[in-house]
Structure 1
Amino acid sequence: MPSLRVIDQDDSPGEELQGQDQPLCNICQKQFSNYVCPRCNLRYCSLGCYKDLQHADCTESFYKDSITEEIRSRGTSDEEKQKMLQLLRRFEAENDQLATTHNEEEMDEKEDNDSMDDLHDRFATIDLDKADSEAIWALLSDQERKEFEALLQFQQQQGDSHEGLDDIPIPEYHPWWNNETIGSNKKVVIQELENEQEEEEEENTFPELPSPLPDLQTMMKSPPGPESDLVWSLMHTAMVYCYVMRHFLGDIREDVKDTVAVVSTLCKATLFSSTPGYAYRNPTEALYDLVDEIMDYEEQEASDRSRRVPLMIVLLEDCLSLMKKQDSMVRAISDLWRLLESGTKKMDKTHRNACFLATRKSYFYLGYAVYLSRNHGLERVKVLAMAEKERLVLEDQAFDRQRKAAEQAVELQQKQTKPKITNVL
């Protein structure tokens, strides 16, 4: 498999760079290129440029080959390999669909630019500051007049405040699952029960693993595998834990009853549900249902895109971070289980039984998380969560472009329709 080539600015240039200045990034054309793509020799300056849509064909192929090679290197059965390869093919098909959508958006954007050029040509000979509003209005087509009125109404309803992906509307907090030093001082701690060893103390404030770890195969005769829809309930529960940690800035035990109340509200379809069967059939259902519950809990409009889309992306990023290390997902579910266990003791009689049943179910989820971690069963969740996140990012970028174009059109028209002040004397 090709490896990444890094151009170190402190070292003397190699043979291919001798006698010439360090070239710029082939993507942004602004920064010096510090890296070279191992496949197509494209020079780029950062991960953002490497993942740019101009380089998408190469990166998607690279990710696919990397995951395929990883699957082949593991001691899995032929049946498991075939399942994973089928997931990769599905992932590749979804990426192709995203690329097609992006191409269509580029064509639409080109048409919009042509329309704007035509608009500029029509107004080229007019002084907008002195022109009569009726004369300006007469230069607009019927369709442009309708669009202007619709955009003006939209702006009055929405106001001028818009938040983008860089302004994530949740409290500033650095969660433990984003700490790169976790687990760096010792080997991964998910291990067979008969070979368990005592964990050494660490300075990092991240949840401890229970001892012994629950064994799903002792809980039931035929444990659900990675292909079961139970995995989406586990994903939902993990995202609930991440949201609660962010919501309380990591201090989820300051008021246990309050924290458990939030968990019960968000997990009423999973941990606190008495309905048999699985709540979700895919990651999109799990994500959208959780965001609906969060928006309702925060008393915000469910259609508030400026809050909804960034929240979805943060939840998916947190879930993906939990799956980067073999034991992080287990630690998260374990921490939630301990929270519910302590909350049961503090609940009144009315809510104690529901919390007790939720605690037992969370312990079962913990056993399922351990089972998946030991058998590399989280790969399916990881691939589909990545696909969902990329879809949301592309969709939000397209929406943001359209919003900015609308704002510019409204601003232009407002300048053109300023009331004309005449000298009455």
Structure 2
Amino acid sequence: MPRTFDIKTKKDITPSGTSNPCGVCRRQFAKYTCPTCNLQYCSLMCYRSEAHSQCTEVFYKTSLAEQIQGEPARSDEEKKRMLELLKRFEESTNNSDEGEEIDDVASRLEGINLGITDYKTIWDILTEEEKQRFLQLVADPASDESQRLLDAGSLADTPWWISDVTSRTAPTTRAIPEGLLKTTQFNPMLLYNVFHVSLSYAYTIRTFGISAFNSGIQVQDEVDLFRNLLLPLSPFLTDRKSSLIFTSVDGVMVDWTSRLPEPPTPEFVRVLLTDAQTLFRSHPVVDSTENPHSSCMRFISDILGLVEGPKKYAHITHKLTFYLALISNLPTRASRDLIEAIRAWETKNRDNLVMLEPSVHKKPLVEEL
């Protein structure tokens, strides 16, 4: 039976002996509770649903307004993404209010250096009416108007690796310190650890129904929810002293499925294994600056963006950066071998995908360094 958490306190509030369905979709078990109306729901997609709009609109307006008005300057990429949204928003306003004299956001922002300007400066340029409408659109990314504004992109619910990996929804590959790039040698065994993390990543992205962690404008509660689901699924990332190394796909699957909040369906396991193969598949390199394993590097970079900043996640950032350097030197043959091993495991366990008891295996599934 899955546990139910209060979205604010993150405390387990599951009544003993109960397994309530999601109050929105009625198809999944509820994992979270709305702090405003006590609705129990299963995912971010259900939380954002039209049936729950009386709470989500207020929540997103308040949280986003606090974030935009109170946070210090962030990365150039984030500011440019917000500026793009604001420009598109103003264009849609101009198109819907023909004949009215409305200041153009682009002209009002002319001369502003995005590299040093914080959100408050950009936000204060908007009129009160524009602020309210913009917040409403971000609070309801599924609406037709929001999708037109976003060009059906950054807040779409299709994982980025399903579409064109060069699209604007795909995470940007993080730069790797030159010293680490030169000193990191490929260790084929560590590839299974990265495979483990890829399952946690795909599971989290699909559970919350988002394209990527870096898509759209997020509020802190969303970021916390993403972290709180993903990180416990691959605890060797969070354990500072962990020297765990997986040695097979079998070992990864036994360990990873045992950490899920509820048993996965065979269909979902197949989807996640397909996701992992897509992320590890090498691509033909056209530009000399590109890497054949750019998809794998992108998903690691997306997780890096999720944990960068807070000091308590510094060791996770270091591990992920090391994995990034490892994948940058990954031989194409090694990724093909991993994909073949995943397919072989799936074929072998086709009729038994979710019954993965460690006791049935005689060989060690993981080993310590």
TM-score by length of 1: 0.39
Please identify the structure whose Cα radius of gyration is greater. 1
TM-score by length of 2: 0.45
Higher RCO structure (Cα 8 Å, ≥6 apart): 1
